[in-house]
Each structure stands twice: as structure tokens, then as C-alpha cells.
Structure 1
Amino acid sequence: MLFTSDLVASYAPDVKRLRRFEKIFLKSGESKKVNFSISAKDLTFTNNENQKVVEPGDFQVTIGNLRANFALK
């Protein structure tokens, strides 16, 4: 599961939003590589005026216990 968080926004959307997931089946001891892609559209939220917007700023992506921050300009 891939979650995004908008760290600074004019309107506070959900703290953590599910953006992608892939259901996989693993045997005991098996590992598998899963790739996710996101776009600026995936970072939109609904503002106070019921409009879908994406704002530049700092974001965080979380997959399992891994986290990475990035800036959208």
C-alpha cells in the first residue's frame, strides 16, 4: 500500500491517504518487488470551496515502514 501525506496545505486534508495498492501472495520466505507510480494528480484534495486542487509544497510517501519526503513545485 502506498500512502501520501501533504505536510503543508492551505486546508488540512486527511493526514494519510491511500493512493495505490497491489494485492500479492507470498510463500513463506519469499519476497517480491512491487512498483508504484504517482503523479501530481494523485496529490489533489478537495478544498473549502469543493474544488479539487493540488498545491506546491512538501509531501511524504509511505510504503510499509518506509518513508520518503519530496517537494512539489
Structure 2
Amino acid sequence: MHYPPKVALSTLVNSLKGVSARLLRKEYPAHIRKYLWGGHFWSPSYFAASCGGAPLWIIKEYIESQKRPG
């Protein structure tokens, strides 16, 4: 994902969560209720990582090479 460097990551994530929650609630109101997180669609936390512009095949290879929990 690319976004302007002046936009704080937390602002971007909050916007994505807010818009997606509104759209999902609008499209699937009855179904969504059982998945709410204390009345909210999303948890207040988030995770973000950067791959420094590496090609997707390298990222995929890296992920696939990671150990699985036992």
C-alpha cells in the first residue's frame, strides 16, 4: 500500500477501519452483530510492517520459510 508520507500511519489505519466497518455494517447488518468486539467491529490495535520495496516473490518466499508454531 502506498500513502502520502505526511499522513500518520495511525490516521490511515483508523480511516481504513472506520470506512470498512461502516460499509460492512451497511451491507451485512444482521450477520455482523455476532462478530462485534465489545460493540465495535475492529479491535483498537493494529500491526504494520514495511518490506522496503522488496519484490512480492521475495516477501512470499520469506513468509513461507518461517517456522510454524508447534
TM bucket (normalised to shorter chain) is under 0.3
When normalised by structure 2's length, the TM-score is 0.27
Higher share in helix: 2
When normalised by structure 1's length, the TM-score is 0.26
Larger RCO (CA within 8 A; separation ≥ 6)? 1
